[in-house]
Amino acid sequence: MKEAYVLFPYEVFWSELSPFLETRGYTLRPRYRQGWVPDPNASGARLAELEDAIALPMRSCRMIDAIRASDGLLVYLKTIRSSSKELEICRYLSSEALRHDPRNHSVPLLNVIQHPTDPDISMIVMPFLRKIDDPPFEMVEDVLEFGEQILEGLAFLHEHNVAHWDCHAFNIMMNAAALFPKGFHPVLSDMLSDLTSSAKVLSRSSARVTYYFVDFGISSLFTHDSTSRLVLGIDGIEKTVPELSVTVPYDPFKTDIYILGALFHREFLHKFSNVQMIEPLVASMTARDPAWRPDAADALELWRHARSQAYTIQRCWRVRSRQESHVGSAIRDVWALVGSIIQTNSHIQ
HEC profile of 64-102: EEEEECCCCEEEEEEEEECCCHHHHHHHHHCCHHHHCCC
pLDDT band at 39 (very low <50, low <70, confident <90, very high): confident
Task: Name the residue among 169, 147, 143 with its Cα closest to residue 273.
Answer: 143
pLDDT of residue 336: 61
* Average pLDDT, integer, range 117-133: 97
Cβ atoms of 129 and 174 within 8 Å: the answer is: yes
Task: Name the residue among 77, 72, 87, 166 with its Cα closest to residue 120.
Answer: 87
User: Angle at Cα 57 formed by Cα 235 and Cα 210, nearest 5°?
Assistant: 70
Return the amino acid letter for 315.
R
pLDDT of residue 343: 47
Residue 345 pLDDT > 50: no
pLDDT of residue 45: 55
Residue 335 pLDDT > 70: no
* Whole-number average pLDDT of the chain: 91
243-281 pLDDT per residue, tens: 999 999 999 999 999 999 999 999 999 999 999 999 999
Residue 133 pLDDT > 70: yes
Question: Could you give the C-alpha distances from 41 to 38, 55, 315, in angstroms and in order?
Answer: 9, 18, 54
pLDDT of residue 61: 85
